[in-house]
Amino acid sequence: MSLKGIMSIAGKPGLYKVVAKMASGFIVEGLEDDKRIPVTSTHKISMLDDISIFTEEGDINLKEVLAKIKEGNTDGISVTSKSSSDELKKFFASVLPHYDKDRVYVSDIKKIVNWYALVKDIFDVEDEDEEGEEAPEESTEEKTTEKSEDKN
C-alpha cells in the first residue's frame, strides 16, 4: 500500500486513511482502531504523500525517508517517540545523514517515528516505486505506438 490517501489530523492521535468523500470533506478511518469519523474543511489535515523533510541538499519526500527507515531496520527500529532527544537525533542521522538539523526539530522526528510504527506493516517500498516510475513509462510507450500506427 502507498501513502496516498493517508493523513494526519491536527489535534487527533494517529493516522487516518480516506475511505469516502463527502460534499464538505472526507470520511476517514483510523489505522489503529478502524473507527470512522468525518473530516471537514475546518480540520487541519496533512496528507503524508505531500510531506517532505528538509535536508542540506534540498527536500526529500516522507515516503523516501520511510523507505530508508524500512531498508535499514528490517528487525524494527530501536527508538520510540518516548526516547530521549539525543537518541532520536542519532537515529534520524543514521537514516538521513544530511537532514537539516536547524529546521528538523525533535518533535518532527517523534512524529516520523510514530508514523513509521503505524504504517510499517502496510507501507510497501515496491508499491511506491511502481507508482512513481512505471506509470509515466507506460504512457510514453502507448503514445509512440499510436503515432507510428497513424503514419502507416
Topology of domain 6-48, per CATH? SH3 type barrels. (2.30.30)
- Residue spans of the domains in the chain: they are 6-48, 52-125
Does 52-125 carry CATH code 3.40.920.10? no
In degrees, to the nearest 5, what angle opens at C-alpha 50 toward C-alphas 119 and 111?
A: 45
Q: What is the chain's length?
A: 152
**Cα distances (angstroms) measured from residue 88 to each of 21, 75, 105, 110, 125:** 37, 17, 10, 7, 23
- pLDDT tens, 7-39? 999 999 899 999 999 999 999 999 989 899 999
One fold for 6-48 and 52-125: no
Q: Please tell me the pTM assigned to this model.
A: 0.76
Res. 46: pLDDT tops 60 = yes
